Structure 1
Amino acid sequence: MDATSPSAPARPSLLVRLREPLEAAEAVSFDVFDTLFVRLIAAPEDVFDLVGARFGLKHFRRHRIAAQAQAFRVMRAEGRREIDLDGIYACLPDLGVPAEALKRAEWAAELAVLRLNPEVHAVLVRAQALGKPCILTSDMYLPAGFFAALCERAGITVDRLFISSEAQATKRDDGALFTRAAEALGLSPGRILHIGDNPASDIARGAEKGLATFHYAPDLGPARPTPDLAHAIVAGIARFQAFQPDRSPWWHLGYAAGAPATHALVEWLRGRAEEDRIDLLLFLARDGFTAHRLWPGEATPSLYFKASRVLLRLAAVTERNFEAQIPFLLSGAASVADIFARIGVELPDEAVLRDLGFTAETRYTRKRHAAFAALMRAMRWRILQVCRASRRGLHAACLQAGFRDGMRLGLVDVGWKGSTQAAFLAFVQDFFDVRVKGYYVCLHAKARKGLEMEALISGATHRGAIRRALYDNRVVAELLFSAPHASITGARLEPDGSVAFTQDPGRGADPRLPAIAAEIDAGIRDGVALLRDLLAEIRIELPVAALTAPMLALARDPSRDQAEIIGSIYNFDSWGSSRLFRSYAARLDPREAARGDSWPAGMRALTAPRP
């Protein structure tokens, strides 16, 4: 079992399940659409919207569907068994664009959105390695030439193509296309294995004709309605992860929900940074890790800046403001040991603590705040040592990043209220005369006033209720915008002039967290690569609302499986973590709560999944 998985895979891989049928068969037949190839759109008819968008024909989809229905009527009247693309377009009314141009555009759109299904492609590769003839068998109005172009584009070869529009025989009606294939191959039908997704045309008709059949039924999850073409494209990209069931659930979350949102953030940042004349864009650790990896080289100069709110706050602690910083030093505290560990100060000897009225495991409570504040004052000089070291180290890091007076800096962070930006300003303005603008995934309605900031998800793109729901379930966004390293809480200037950054893995933290973040990052980068490839070909600009829809759905209405795996993460926030308890990312089962585990108010529960 993968270390990042909460449970073992539900069933063996497709290749394993087909091992014996493949070995027994003398030839293998593959259905094309939704089997060997899948479309990167929500529904097949969305291709018609792509054609309509290209030519500015708002109602092309409706006309195209009607033309296909009419082509079937003409087919039956003429005694034929199947329609073809030419026949469909002969039934299309004059829309002001030549039918031939529309037909070529549909061909191109179909090619653009079709991708090899990874798990079925693996079966094709295995069958060919075994020396089995492999054929494509499809009920489709497109001609055989389209399928030849599709295979060439995908880099695969097959032995024969059996396409209903050219054979004038179908799978769906009477299985005659299967008979044609068996005769052409010179094999009895029982020696052919057919793999397809349609229970009727692929499985029932194939079995009736004597073929060995395998019903390919991937787990695509519940279908969500798509209000427009943009949402249909994003839904298709998000769904494509389902065809790689061997990947971890975290990779799937990154691919389906993180990739579109990260692409939206990167594209939005490109425009904003250029318009705002940003000299250097700082992707803050850890939130900016993946977005920075995807940042285009030709865009605004950028840097993955290893600073966090905690590091910035600690670096700003001085003798003058120490008293005012005590609430921050104690915020989210669990015990004496936790407080000193997260600051990076060595825990005092037991005798010293005892003299001060504490033990290492003394729990912090509001009633004990005054006593804990007194402890901070007693250990003031040790704490200030750490803070001064971080201040020097962070200043050196700024110099090495090229900070200079007059610069306009951009900060990239997830959100939510601008506290990190305020801490950055408080630190950097002691050394440099710079202007700073914050760029966020989403901002809370009560974000700090007086800061120059804006967000990808804003009132211009989403209703207030949606933004509030994302904030309430912000662990989802923070999980998708994370990094496979621990929080940066300290900086130290080394003798050779380099800067060493201290990471805080937390206390009692979920040991899976680095691997989870790495898997999510891999899923996001794979998903963005596919999305960029598709958009470069279809040349459609996707709005923020469509690109962020999967992430918002994950936050507002996760599936039960999604809620369970995200809810299994504990001690996600290193600053507030402790070995004394586990803080989960979602509400706990009452039996778990009875064991003393907690659910902190700062990490709200996921919306309860639907049964």
Structure 2
Amino acid sequence: MMVDLVRAKRLIEGADVVSFDIFDTLIRRKVDSPRDVFNLMKGAAHAISRGQVSDFRAARVLAEQNALSKAQETGIEEITFSQIYDELQTLTGIADVVKEAIQALEVETELRCVDVRVVGRDLLEFASRQRKKIVLVSDMYLPRDVILSLLERAGVRGFSTLYLSNELLKTKRLGDLFTHILNELSLKPSQVVHIGDNPRGDVSTPNTLGIETIHIPRSMVNFREASPFGKSIALAGRKHSSLTKSAVDALIADRFFDTRDKLTEEAFFRSDPFQFGYSALGPLLLGMSFWLYREAKADGIERLYFLSRDGAVMKSVFDALFPSDEYGIETDYLYCSRRVVRVPLMQNKFDLLQPVSKPIHKRTLGSWLEANYGVDPNQIDQALFHGRGFEGPDHFIDKDVDREALSSLVSDLHPILIEVATSERRTLEQYLAHKGVGEGRHAVVDIGYAGTMQEALSNILHKELKGYYLAVFGTSANVKNQLGLKGFLSQYGADDNPALGICTHRFVYESLVCSSEDSVLRIGRTDAGFKPVGLPSENDRERKSFVDYAHSGALSLAREYRATSPIPPEESVLSPEASSLIFDAYLRQPMAKDVALLYGVGFEDIYGLAHQRYLAVEPGLVNTVLPSQVIWKESLSVKAPVKTMTAKDAELAGKKALNTKDYPLAAANFRKAYDLLPSRPNYLRMVAEAHYSGGDKKSAINALNEFIKINPRNLRAKARKLVMTFPPLSKIIGSYEFNIR
């Protein structure tokens, strides 16, 4: 049910008296369910009673039920706090002093868990500004002094009278408490408006008495019932309930689901990257941090090195939960990547030839050499390329490249490549020494999956490092110290486990956990010290913008958990399944409007495909990209609102792809522009230029032929076709390249 705040304020303005429920209306508990308070007490109650109260929650619930049953036998529908504890004493046989101690513990725990509910407070303050008489009404067993303390702790003030069911032995749910208030204040039902969360006690019962009501469902109800997605994760979450999950869910619900509107029902994350980070990435990183602290502490680790770039947000969340001055584990951030360690470890011909046997996707030979060996292709003698049958660094290669010729070229470049590797290794060793890596009980932290960077660093340092990862797969058997790896979501499991989102959607995980920093190629050194040498990527703008907001959301959850949770971080446990529940559910069965969060977010891999890949693309652009360019396949099956694409939209998309050197995508978008607006045949010239820039001469000439058929008198297009067919002609007649402004 949506809260109509306009109607609510109108009803308040028209009333003489505004009545408020207390629990879950003006104040809330920092846990999912009121009975989670009893779970928080279990350990202490067991200790206070010296084991007589073996399961406090179960005993406390039964004591309340028994006390109420006995009261109802005498025609009374309400009970007191003391009656509940008298019944607990009867059930467990505890002494008076123990009973009083546990009773005091419950009050203390309630005070520790209480906070204000924002929507209720706002309506109370509005009523106060309207100079309305405000009364509070509650069906509650806690005594007056405790409830007043809870209200004070939450900052709730400005009411005139407090009506409690356990004092008057009348209840809201039966209506006699409302009747008592009307009589005491000499009011007609039409003069009162009541505000509360309970469908019976706060809505239907007062309505039958003629009292207008404003229903504000609990934030947890909104969280779980506002949308199909919320309902599905609520159902799945029942298997993984815990006190920590209760506290995390309460934070999410209270921050984003205090009220409910149409957007809440259509988009769980409300098209907000921050909310996505808080609600989906946040629990994942919290769960890993709780686990990481326990494991590192048990292993006696003194310092954790979080590896770039996945480690940036992991470190931020861990530091927020476990500051080193309080918890005794130091943390640092280490610039490292596959590329950073791969080149420095190359020491001989065998090492140099390893990349040749790996999969090769379409790209220029120069970019392949630069990515795998760190060498500047423009500094290589052109004769070396020609001698092995390659045109030069701009020669395109792919899976069908002549591997023998490529191996020969690498062998020819042996002295140059080893010189680069030696130089990079020297600088990397100095950087690691500067950071103090390996000078104590140290470990690395990263996303996963086989510990290759951990092993590489250990080899360079000649000292074994431990490693903690979001996931460790069975492929880690290939490293020499598999037992030095620990994984949170997976420990030596299969990397194709369909039950794990990090297996089924690994590239999405990597893209959204990875920070907005540029990919690190090597460590550089200047007079000012060490600095990472990155690989700027224009393709990564959308992703960088998204993850900056998402990571700030995850960090906010960590900070708020530490500041407000009734469970200390060091005692918090969030299972792998509970941690990844919302994130994985989003990846597998997203709501249509939530898919749009990842439109245009790119995936970067310097060793992968040459053309740009995306996590998701807008429905109107799906036909302009190759299937292999869309990573999140579920995004394609969701019927999202389709935005009508114009020729100008396609043209701009083509120019954007051209700027990022994604030539196939640029050509596809320019072709789409022409299909949408055939009266502008110059789009065909754009198609031709994009294909030609990408090395596809045949498609470029075909596009120009289409243009020339429409404009047979265009001499510049004919000249451009000649140059494309015989490139050396450009030195004689010029290039006649079409200028794509």
Fold shared by both chains (TM-score > 0.5): yes
Matched to 2:165, the amino acid is: S
Matched to 2:503, the amino acid is: Y
- Alignment check: 8 A CA contact 2:285 2:314 kept: yes
One of 278, 282, 285 as aligned partner of 1:255:
278
- Alignment check: 8 A CA contact 1:29 1:193 kept: yes
In 1, the alpha carbon distance for the partners of 2:11 and 2:408 equals 74
- Alignment check: 8 A CA contact 1:489 1:502 kept: yes
Q: 1:401 corresponds to which residue?
A: 435
Q: 1:143 corresponds to which residue?
A: 143
From the two aligned structures, give the one with the greater helix fraction: 2
Matched to 1:241, the amino acid is: I
Q: 1:440 corresponds to which residue?
A: 469
Residues 320 and 540 (structure 1), Cα distance of their counterparts in 2 relative to 1, 3 Å cut: closer
- Alignment check: 8 A CA contact 1:31 1:202 kept: yes
Q: TM-score normalised to the size of structure 2?
A: 0.66
Q: 2:44 corresponds to which residue?
A: 54
Matched to 2:92, the amino acid is: L
Q: 1:71 corresponds to which residue?
A: 67
- Alignment check: 8 A CA contact 2:38 2:57 kept: yes
Q: SS where residue 198 of structure 1 aligns?
A: coil
Q: SS where residue 598 of structure 1 aligns?
A: helix
In 2, the alpha carbon distance for the partners of 1:265 and 1:527 equals 14
Matched to 1:531, the amino acid is: Y
Residues 590 and 521 (structure 1), Cα distance of their counterparts in 2 relative to 1, 3 Å cut: closer
Q: 1:493 corresponds to which residue?
A: 525
Query: How big is the shift at 1:555?
Result: 2.7
**Which sections of structure 2, spanning at least 5 residues, go unmatched?**
47-52, 225-229, 258-269, 639-741
Residues 528 and 208 (structure 1), Cα distance of their counterparts in 2 relative to 1, 3 Å cut: same
- Alignment check: 8 A CA contact 1:310 1:489 kept: yes
In 1, the alpha carbon distance for the partners of 2:369 and 2:15 equals 67
- Alignment check: 8 A CA contact 1:306 1:488 kept: yes
Q: 2:453 corresponds to which residue?
A: 420
Residues 201 and 377 (structure 1), Cα distance of their counterparts in 2 relative to 1, 3 Å cut: farther
Q: 1:291 corresponds to which residue?
A: 314
In 2, the alpha carbon distance for the partners of 1:480 and 1:152 equals 41
Q: Give CA-to-partner distance per residue, 1:462-481, whole Å, 9 cap, x none.
A: 99968855433335654664
Q: 2:551 corresponds to which residue?
A: 521
In 1, the alpha carbon distance for the partners of 2:474 and 2:585 equals 18
Is 1:554 aligned to residue 583 of structure 2?
yes
Matched to 2:200, the amino acid is: A
Larger Rg: 2
Query: How big is the shift at 1:485?
Result: 2.6
Q: Give CA-to-partner distance per residue, 1:275-295, whole Å, 9 cap, x none.
A: 544454211112222332333
In 1, the alpha carbon distance for the partners of 2:608 and 2:271 equals 26
Q: Give CA-to-partner distance per residue, 1:233-287, whole Å, 9 cap, x none.
A: 4134224313323886443444345444434443444454455444542111122
Q: SS where residue 485 of structure 2 aligns?
A: strand
Is 1:231 aligned to residue 254 of structure 2?
no
- State how 1:240-279 maps to structure 2 within 5 Å: 240-245=251-256, 249-279=272-302
Query: How big is the shift at 1:312?
Result: 1.9
Residues 161 and 358 (structure 1), Cα distance of their counterparts in 2 relative to 1, 3 Å cut: farther
Q: SS where residue 147 of structure 1 aligns?
A: helix
Query: How big is the shift at 1:208?
Result: 3.3
Bigger Cα displacement from structure 2, 547-556 vs 212-221: 547-556
Bigger Cα displacement from structure 2, 361-370 vs 285-294: 361-370
In 2, the alpha carbon distance for the partners of 1:389 and 1:27 equals 80
Residues 607 and 210 (structure 1), Cα distance of their counterparts in 2 relative to 1, 3 Å cut: same
Bigger Cα displacement from structure 2, 451-460 vs 334-343: 334-343
Residues 86 and 310 (structure 1), Cα distance of their counterparts in 2 relative to 1, 3 Å cut: same
How many residue pairs end up in the alignment? 587
In 1, the alpha carbon distance for the partners of 2:186 and 2:413 equals 88
Matched to 2:86, the amino acid is: A
Query: How big is the shift at 1:103?
Result: 2.7
In 2, the alpha carbon distance for the partners of 1:535 and 1:69 equals 29
Query: How big is the shift at 1:140?
Result: 2.0
In 1, the alpha carbon distance for the partners of 2:112 and 2:78 equals 25
Matched to 1:219, the amino acid is: F
Q: 1:3 corresponds to which residue?
A: none
Q: 1:7 corresponds to which residue?
A: none
Q: 1:44 corresponds to which residue?
A: 34
Query: How big is the shift at 1:436?
Result: 1.4
In 1, the alpha carbon distance for the partners of 2:532 and 2:147 equals 55
Query: How big is the shift at 1:412?
Result: 0.9
Q: 1:155 corresponds to which residue?
A: 155
Residues 538 and 498 (structure 1), Cα distance of their counterparts in 2 relative to 1, 3 Å cut: closer
Query: How big is the shift at 1:300?
Result: 2.8
Matched to 2:606, the amino acid is: W
Q: 1:6 corresponds to which residue?
A: none
- Alignment check: 8 A CA contact 2:469 2:487 kept: yes
Q: TM-score normalised to the size of structure 1?
A: 0.78
**Which sections of structure 1, spanning at least 5 residues, go unmatched?**
1-9
Matched to 1:401, the amino acid is: K
Q: Give CA-to-partner distance per residue, 1:100-143, whole Å, 9 cap, x none.
A: 33333333333333433345444445555565555443322222
One of 386, 407, 410 as aligned partner of 2:443:
410
Give the aligned CA root-mean-square deviation in angstroms: 4.6
- Alignment check: 8 A CA contact 2:352 2:410 kept: no
Matched to 2:306, the amino acid is: F
Residues 580 and 475 (structure 1), Cα distance of their counterparts in 2 relative to 1, 3 Å cut: closer
Matched to 2:455, the amino acid is: A
Residues 340 and 446 (structure 1), Cα distance of their counterparts in 2 relative to 1, 3 Å cut: closer
Matched to 1:255, the amino acid is: Y
- State how 1:166-315 maps to structure 2 within 5 Å: 166-174=167-175, 176-181=176-181, 189-190=189-190, 192-217=192-217, 218-220=222-224, 221-222=230-231, 223-224=234-235, 231-245=242-256, 249-293=272-316, 294-295=318-319, 296-298=323-325, 299-315=328-344
Q: 2:666 corresponds to which residue?
A: none
Residues 463 and 318 (structure 1), Cα distance of their counterparts in 2 relative to 1, 3 Å cut: closer
Bigger Cα displacement from structure 2, 30-39 vs 186-195: 186-195
Structure 1 vs Structure 2: percent identity of aligned residues?
23
Matched to 1:99, the amino acid is: K
- Alignment check: 8 A CA contact 1:255 1:520 kept: yes
Q: 2:606 corresponds to which residue?
A: 575
The structure showing larger relative contact order (alpha-carbon pairs under 8 Å, at least 6 residues apart) is: 1
Q: 1:482 corresponds to which residue?
A: 514
Query: How big is the shift at 1:226?
Result: 6.4
Residues 466 and 526 (structure 1), Cα distance of their counterparts in 2 relative to 1, 3 Å cut: farther
Q: 2:562 corresponds to which residue?
A: 532
In 2, the alpha carbon distance for the partners of 1:129 and 1:336 equals 72
